[in-house]
A = this chain, B = another copy of it.
């Protein structure tokens, strides 16, 4: 007798096998009971014939949903069944009779589902999203590997901060005072390029923002790449190649799961380099023509991004932001010192920013000035300034938000379903 998984059924036709899983659904019709079994690799229909189970049929027939069972039976090809196969049971072992499962077929509100995230994860849409996430992450890592990047895991606990210092989570770090949860690994990656050339990190990052929007999580995963001797243009070329690669590979691999989500793949199939590139100034022109009165020097908001992305069917880079809207480490444009050599990449269909990137300031004096101008303590950045003292080079990098990218690929409206256990300002349980 061979234990197997549902995904292996094509190789098991007419064989007697054992499968183990959960009753995702069931129905009965007189002398037959049909159990829809989920084993983590797929779904199949199990047919339990009353005549074969004189003692236990009545219990099997009423088995609560989500009960766990071990089924022995024969695999039969059946095109009408979900997945194309069914199992004719010869033995049914009930492992655990479930309490009444709280998530049913009726609509539940997001609050109820998030409170029951540990159970919600068993339902078909959530399983599909988790599998797409898994594939997306794999393709991201493969891209970096095949392009000669070395993984450098940047620290989470840090005393040097890369982004907005007003949205930091802090902890008491033994006798050293406060430490903070990392918002970016970039500064650390910049240290690593001198030994390794092209490096990346991929880990959780944290923002203690009181933002209650569909685009914000307090804990999310970010992929950051940093490349020695790359200028701004090479940085954008790499980003569009990267994004095209991960989108095309993920939708090819996970077509079945994207179908569960009813995602229209047509817009995603168009995602290939080159992407559109417009300047911040051009973006402002577009917004003004659409009735906005945004002033030069303001950062773009989520609604502004939505307006712009709807004009393009591919992602669009917005380049050359005013220096004062961006982080201290971005390189001042020598031709236009009030702007920096940066770009945000906005995903189409209204999704908005998925990447922020820039060439980095490699001049020691300008960088020191920039740290001071931003009200930061130069002493905390002394090690970072060292990188401009010992063989400074032109270099660039970018960070891609995993959950924002996944929300776009899956065609969802809210980030909260794209991470196994979402953390928001009002939620850190389960």
Query: Residues of A with Cβ closer than 8 Å to B?
Result: 5, 7, 20-23, 38-41, 66-68, 70, 95-96, 98-99, 101, 116-119, 121-123, 126-127, 130-131, 133-134, 137-138, 141, 145, 148, 150-160, 169-171, 173-176, 179, 181, 188, 191-198, 203-204, 206, 208, 210, 218-219, 221, 228-229, 362, 383-384, 386-387, 389-394, 419-421, 423, 425-430
Contacts and interface: CB of A to CB of B under 8 A. Distances in A.
Given A151-B137, A203-B203, A421-B188, A390 B98 contact: yes
Nearest to A96: B392
Contact of A188 (B170, B229, B420): B420
Contact of A390 (B99, B117, B152): B99
Contact of A196 (B40, B98, B204): B40
Contacts of A427: 176
B122 A194 contact: yes
Nearest to A118: B191
Given A40-B193, A428-B159, A20 B393 contact: yes
Given A171-B171, A386-B118, A428 B158 contact: yes
Nearest to A170: B171
Contacts of A228: 20, 40
B153 A156 contact: no
Contacts of A429: 159-160, 383
Contacts of A150: 130-131, 134
Contacts of A126: 195
A428 B154 CA distance: 12
Copies of this protein chain in the complex:
2
Contacts of A99: 389-390
A153 B223 CA distance: 14
A176 B428 contact: yes
Contacts of A204: 153, 156, 203-204
Given A122-B194, A159-B429, A197-B39, A5 B127 contact: no
Contacts of A170: 171
Contact of A152 (B148, B181, B420): B420
Nearest to A6: B197
Contacts of A95: 391-394
Nearest to A188: B421
A221 B151 CA distance: 13
A302 B5 CA distance: 40
A204 B202 CA distance: 11
B118 A133 contact: no
B428 A179 contact: yes
Contact of A151 (B134, B387, B430): B134
A237 to B, nearest CB: 13
Given A141-B141, A145-B138, A428-B159, A154 B420 contact: yes
A178 to B, nearest CB: 10
A157 B420 contact: no
A130 B199 CA distance: 11
A335 B123 CA distance: 36
Contacts of A174: 208, 210, 425-426
Contact of A130 (B138, B195, B198, B208): B195
Contact of A141 (B39, B127, B138, B219): B138
Given A195-B127, A428-B179, A5 B148 contact: yes
Contacts of A229: 20, 70
A390 B157 contact: no
Nearest to A101: B390
Contacts of A196: 40, 127, 130-131
Nearest to A155: B421
Contacts of A203: 203-204
Contacts of A156: 156, 181, 204, 206, 219
